[in-house]
Every structure is written in C-alpha cells, then in structure tokens.
A and B are shown apart, each in its own frame.
Chain A
Amino acid sequence: MGLHLMAESHAATPSENAPPNKALLDPKYGVGSWIWTAETHDQQLCRFWRSFEIPTGAKVVKARLRIAADDSYSLFLDGREIGRGGGWHTLTEYDMTLLLEPGLHTLGVEAFNTFKQAGVLAGLRIELTDGGTIEIASDQSWKVVPNTENRWVNRNRARGNWSPATVVAGFGLEPWPVKPAILKAPQIYPLVLEFWQTGWFQIMMLSLCAFVAAMCLRLMGKVAIQSNAQQVVQRERARIARDLHDDLTAGLTQLVLMGEVAQSTLPAGSEPRRRIDKVCEKARALSHSMNEIIWMVNSQRDSLHAFASYVCKYAETFLQPTPIRCRFNIEEAMPDLPCDMGMRRNLFLAVKEALNNAVRHSGATELVLDIHRQGLSIVVAMEDNGKGFDPSLADRERNGLSSMMQRATEAGGICSVISQPGAGCRVEFVVPLARTAPLHSNFLSRFWKRQAPLPARSHAPPTVSTPPVHPSSTTL
C-alpha cells in the first residue's frame, strides 16, 4: 500500500495541488466516484481533464481504463480520441497498455447530459514492471474545462480558471445504484505515423520551405536593390554627361567661335592675332578632351558597339595627319554586349597609347585595327607594317609599353606585343566582358566562381608570360 501511495503522489503534478486521494478505485470495478460540475442541467456539455505522469524508467505492464457516463462521453488520451460511448449500466474497458510510455499524459472526457442527473464515472489502473501501481479515479482531482477552451485535449497543463470537478455520488449509490456490467473495448494500438506524418518531418519541411522562401525574398531584394542602385548610377552618369555637354562643351564652343571671329577682324600675322589663335587652339583641345570625358561618363555608351565605333573614330582622326593609313577589321554583326565604364575607359586609353607608339616609332604606312569577340572576351588588336623591334630589348618606360600594360591590367585583361625587327608590330589587348553582367556580384556568382573559376577580371594576372609561339614576342 505504501508503494501504491508513493506512485499516486508521484502521478499528481505539482501544479494541481490535488489533495491526497482517499477515495481511490473501487477494488472490484476499478472506478472512482461519479463526478460532474457544480451545476447540472439538461442539454449540458461538460469536459473533464486530468494529467498524470509515468515515472521515467518505468515500464507499463498493464493499463486499463473503465468509464461510464450519464448520458454519453468521448474519451481522449494525449489528445487522441480513444473511444466514445454512453449509458450508466455498462462500464467500458479500454486497454491502454500499448499507449502509455514514461512521461506526462493527459486524460480528457467530454460528456453530454440530455436531461436530469449527469455524471461521469472512470478509473485508470496502471501496473508497472517494478510492481508499482498508478491509480487514477474520477474524483475532485479532475478539472472541469470551460466550454470556450480550444484544443483543451492537447493541453498538458491545467489553466488557473479550470475548477475542480464535483463528486456527485459515490460508486454504486443513488442515483446510479446498479453495479454496471463490464464491456471490453477492442485493443487499442498506438498510432503508427508514417515519417511524413510525424511532427518533426513536417516542421522540417515547413522550415525548409520557409528558408527557401526567405532566400528567394532576400535574393529578389538584393537584385531589386542592386538594379535600383545601378539604375541610379546610370541615370546620374547620363545626367552628368548631359550637363557637361550642355554647359561646358557649349561654353567651350562659344569660346572657340568668339575667338575665331575676333581673330578674323585682326590683321594677319599680327601679335594679337597669333595670341588669339593660341587661345582658340587651347579651347579646341579642351573641347576634345571634354568630349572624351563625356563619352566615358555617358552610361548610354556602355556597349560594345559604341566602344568599337568610338575607337575607330578616334584612330581615324588621330592617324589622319600622319602617313599611316588606318584600316578597320571590325567583326560583322557583333552582338551589342554591355561594356562597363572602367573597362571601356582603360581599354580606350590603352589603344590610344598603342596608336601613339605606332605614330612615334613604327614608321609604318598602314595600321589595321581589329576588334572582335572571342568567347566572353573582347580582342582589340593593332597591327602595323612598320620597322618593328625586339620586345626583349625595348625600353619599356620610354616606349610607353608599361603604361599600355597597366591600362590593360586595370581593364582586367592582358596585353601582348608581338614584334620582330623589320616585321611590323602587333599589339593585342584581350579583356573579358564577363564582369559586366549586372547580377554577377552577389553570392550566386561567388557560388558560380567556386564551381567554375572563370578568369574574373579582378583576378587577372598582372603579367602573363605565355607568349604565342613566336621567337621574339613579349606578353606584358
């Protein structure tokens, strides 16, 4: 008996403060007392709740619950409906042996009274392997759950406003004097959950979905912000280009024209005329530089076509006063890929340097400017028919080779010079276009780069010493 009491006191959760039960199970029928709420009326729905604990380490040998109700009941264990029935003449016995594991469990009974007397009679007897017993009888340790409470069968803690049940009659006493018959319900098996029905799996799937959705949102947000920022930058660049054009270029043009008109009023060969001539010259040169700056800044020129056309125009104009004839070999129907400002600028400056070198040193009569696409790179090559030189002996500083190399590196590409004394010279710039794609700077591209290390422009080697098969060539 001592053991029995110990087990029972263990079962009562501390929060319930249930007084030690005197009226435990009826030894023969294994039930407690008839309980109900304080009031009884017709058409009344009443819910009873009770929690109990099976000590850890204990194993259930046998667990059976007997229940009767006036008029009817539904029985829940741990939120699962075990069975339903009615009538006070029969006690239904449910075998719960397979359902009870160590830990906290809850019993719930939803009873309905059609008219007059109402009551629920129940008793749970659990035998453990260590010989201990847990007995739970229907008595005032049960709580009455308000009908407004949702999901009450799933709760494992009673709320403060749940009042204790009222014992309305002892077992076998009026108004239910008859000792009931016992009816065994079929064996109840634990629910076998397929893995996709289990809570952890569903939670995992849900969190996976949430994660994917969050990543998508994050990515979209990034794309939006980035493209927005890019648009702002492009708009600003277009505006700056327009302002420079409208204000500075127009002003410089006025200056040139005013100078020309003033000059025409002065006698030829006079000192003031010579000076104004110089002013005009200077203003014209400024105007040229300004146009170059405007072209570089203008975001509407961030394309391969615009680049090719500008470089050709420059070469044509630059070589016009020289003995070098300029020929173009521009890839036909070249796709109009985007071409960002930094690359455009550096490549253009490199080409300028190369043309300058050709005029100063080559003594050529013809120069072919070749622009074509090679995979994801753009190739700009200048080949002259001049006297050539031995690149290994060339003074890089003096010949502007180093600045050409630096420009090519800044553009993210490489520069190679192939020449031989007496056999002309070919300067070639190969610059990847890849980084110009607007979305390539977020984590997707990092992922991509990890997968397939593309020659990212920022990683381009400053000097590559893989000269094409040629006896005397140098790759800068």
Chain B
Amino acid sequence: MNPIGHGGLSAQPVIAHRCKIALVEDLPEIRDNLSQLIGTFPEFQCVCACASGEEALKKIPPAHPDVVLMDIFLPRMSGIECTSRLKVLLPDTRILILTASDDDEMVFPALEAGADGYLLKQAEPASLRTALLDLLKGGVPMTSGIARRVVDYFRSRAKSRDQIVHLTPREKELLVLLSKGYSNKEIAGNLSLSVETIHGHLKNIYQKMHVRSRAEAVAKYMSAENK
C-alpha cells in the first residue's frame, strides 16, 4: 500500500521510509508551518529547514534529501542561484520552486537554472501532497505556458548559434502539443506513447535546458575553490 513508485531517473529506490524533504524559506512562519504541514503527510518528512541560500548550501548536501522546496526571493543569494548550485552538488535531488504566484515570468528563470517544477505556497494540503507524490513517481510538471517558453528558449538559443543541445523532433512535437493545452494523457493517446515515455521526454527537455546553467554553475564553483 505504498503510494510511492520508483522515481524515474532519480535512481534512489524509494523504500518504505518516508521521503526526505528539505525546505529553504526565509520567513520563519511560512517555514515552520510548511514543515509542520509536510510532517502531517504520512509519506514525507522534513529533514532540513534553512532560512537562506547560504545555509542551504551547507546543510542540505549532507542531509541528502529527495526533494528540495526552494523559495525564489531569499535575502542575499537568490533561490535561483541557490538552485543552480545545489543541482551541481546533488544532481539527483529534485528541486521545486516555492512561489506565492504562478507567474510564468517569475518561475521560468528558476526552471532554466535547474529547478524541476514549482509549487504554489498557498496550495491546499491535498494538492501539495499530490504534487509531491507525482514528482516522486517520475511526473514532470510542464504547463502549456512553460512549454511555450521552452520552445521560445530553444529557438532563441538556436538563433544565437550558441553551443546548444538541440531538441529532437519528437520533443518539439511534444512541446507544441503541450503548449496548445493538451494534457499528458491526451498526448499519450494521440501519439500512442505511454505516459511514462512522455515523462522521460520531458525530463530530457529539462535536462537539455539545464546544461548551460549547470556548466556555468560548475565554472563558478571551480573559480570559488581556487581562491
């Protein structure tokens, strides 16, 4: 009766123990209440709650969480910067951006920097839980708006003749359908694919998008350690 399946590319086998979640949020009330709320879900436990990006970089890697919930607006180091650094240290950990508004303009830079999706802070506990479970099952959140931004992103990269990874025709097709508002299930039916295959494609798209930011983050780390 374990609702958590195998997490796709995140190769950690999910066993009967509760999934580890780390939280980065500067406002103490939100941080405390959110961690308490997560504590009430039978499948999850909050193993680490940090008030800043700097603290997160110190405390999260040793805790090895499965999921990190990251606020965008943090004092000093932004959530976006922190995300790209954490992704270098913990490539298998899924990072979800915590946001008060689902404004694509706000969320997309974080996705570009390495985040795997986003969560609304005020979401009802039930939908919060569903979103987390989906993520661990291998689901990759991709709304039509985000899909459109991703298509634009790769188009502008192609124009600037950047050294980029190109999308495969299948991935492009998938993004176009998503941007038109089709759900994963509908697309699976249309293209005769399984929903899992679609998740795999989406994961690849995210990873291609992250190549650049990850390279940049690694370069930053190298120069910081040489000092």
Chain A residues in the interface with B (C-beta under 8 A): 245-246, 249-250, 252-254, 256-258, 260-261, 264, 280, 283-284, 287, 291, 294-295, 300-301, 306, 309-310, 312-313, 316-317, 325-330, 333, 369
Contact = CB atoms under 8 A, between A and B. Distances in A.
Given A291-B101, A316-B181, A329-B180, A254 B145 contact: no
Given A254-B30, A257-B30, A309 B122 contact: no
A250 B180 contact: no
A258 B180 contact: no
A328 B103 contact: no
> Closest 8 CB pairs between A and B?
A257-B33, A291-B101, A254-B29, A249-B100, A256-B122, A327-B181, A253-B121, A328-B181
Q: Is the interface of A mostly helix, strand, loop or mixed?
A: helix
B104 A309 contact: yes
Contacts of B36: 261, 264
Given A261-B37, A312-B145, A327 B180 contact: yes
15 contacts: A250-B100, A254-B30, A260-B37, A260-B124, A283-B122, A291-B102, A300-B105, A306-B105, A309-B105, A312-B144, A312-B145, A312-B148, A316-B143, A327-B180, A329-B180
A313 B148 CA distance: 11
Contacts of A300: 105
B196 to A, nearest CB: 23
B30 A328 contact: no
B195 to A, nearest CB: 17
A369 B180 CA distance: 9
A369 B145 CA distance: 13
Given A252-B122, A257-B33, A312-B181, 5 more contacts: A250-B30, A257-B34, A264-B125, A326-B181, A329-B180
B72 to A, nearest CB: 10
B30 A295 contact: no
Contacts, number: 94
Interface of B: 27, 29-30, 33-34, 36-37, 40, 73, 100-105, 121-122, 124-125, 143-145, 148-149, 152, 155, 179-182
A293 to B, nearest CB: 10
A257 B104 contact: no
Nearest to B182: A327
Contacts of B125: 260, 264
A325 B189 CA distance: 15
B103 A257 contact: no
Contacts of A246: 73
Task: Pick the most buried of A254, A283, A287: most chain B CB atoms within 10 A of its CB.
Answer: A254
Nearest to A336: B152
Given A257-B33, A295-B103, A287 B143 contact: no
Contacts of A310: 103-104
B101 A294 contact: yes
A254 B103 contact: no
Contact of B100 (A245, A330, A369): A245
A186 to B, nearest CB: 80
B155 A333 contact: yes
Given A260-B37, A309-B149, A329-B180, A316 B105 contact: no
B171 to A, nearest CB: 16
Nearest to B26: A250
B112 to A, nearest CB: 15
Given A253-B100, A294-B101, A328-B181, A313 B143 contact: yes
